[in-house]
Structure 1
């Protein structure tokens, strides 16, 4: 399978898909259509079976914003890291709430310490205990 590099730019309401290796351009209305449109263009232009064509989008550019793919990828990675940290914080909170309850700290005091309502502390401590 051969991989072709593809450069995408926004032109009005269309995404222009440039495949420099074959000096051909096609277009798509939406980003999720780029792969199919590029692979079809390459397969037809090179007389290669579609199953033997792969693409790698090297850039997605929009006027005044530059390469939007790189920034979007960075944001997605940041959200994934944040979600991981949130999960860890939730586990740590539940573990500590349960430890505080076992140590005889009231749910109201534990809530004050953890910046949670007493009801939430009670829920977390019960979940962790089970």
Structure 2
């Protein structure tokens, strides 16, 4: 297994794929085709089978901006948002359960939680089934 660095940049309507260690350059029409095109180029140039080729995470650049760094930040923020959403949902269930135990009507619990009374019923029912 051989590992190759790949640098990708936008040039007009094409993605230019640079493979520095073999001084290689190829192109792809779509970003989703970059990996296949890079593997094919390396396989022919280095007389390897594509399964022997491993590509490092490509650096993708558009007008000087590193998209890999941007994508990593987006994925990190999405993970944080998902975690926050899960914590909020758990807190919502705990609050609904505590208010229901105190005999607060479902409509009032809904007002507190900013959801419908039907959603409160779902939250309490889902919790009861667990």
Per the TM superposition, whether the score is higher than 0.5 is: yes
The CA deviation at 1:52 is: 0.9
Structure 2 counterpart of 1:97: 96
Following superposition, which runs of at least 4 residues in structure 1 exceed 4 angstroms of deviation? none
The CA deviation at 1:80 is: 2.2
User: For 1:65-76, what aligned pairs fall within 5 Å after superposition?
Assistant: 65-76=64-75
Gaps of 5+ in 1: none
The CA deviation at 1:58 is: 3.8
Gaps of 5+ in 2: none
Equivalent residues, number: 129
Looking at structure 2, the residues matched to 95 and 129 of structure 1 have their Cα atoms a distance apart, in angstroms, of: 12
DSSP 3-state at the match of 1:57 = coil
Looking at structure 2, the residues matched to 56 and 93 of structure 1 have their Cα atoms a distance apart, in angstroms, of: 43
DSSP 3-state at the match of 1:104 = coil
The CA deviation at 1:93 is: 1.0
Looking at structure 1, the residues matched to 54 and 81 of structure 2 have their Cα atoms a distance apart, in angstroms, of: 32
Scaled by the length of structure 1, the TM-score of the pair is: 0.89
CA distances 1:42-94 after superposition (whole Å, capped 9, x unpaired): 1111112221111113410111x511121122112211221222123123212
The CA deviation at 1:119 is: 2.3
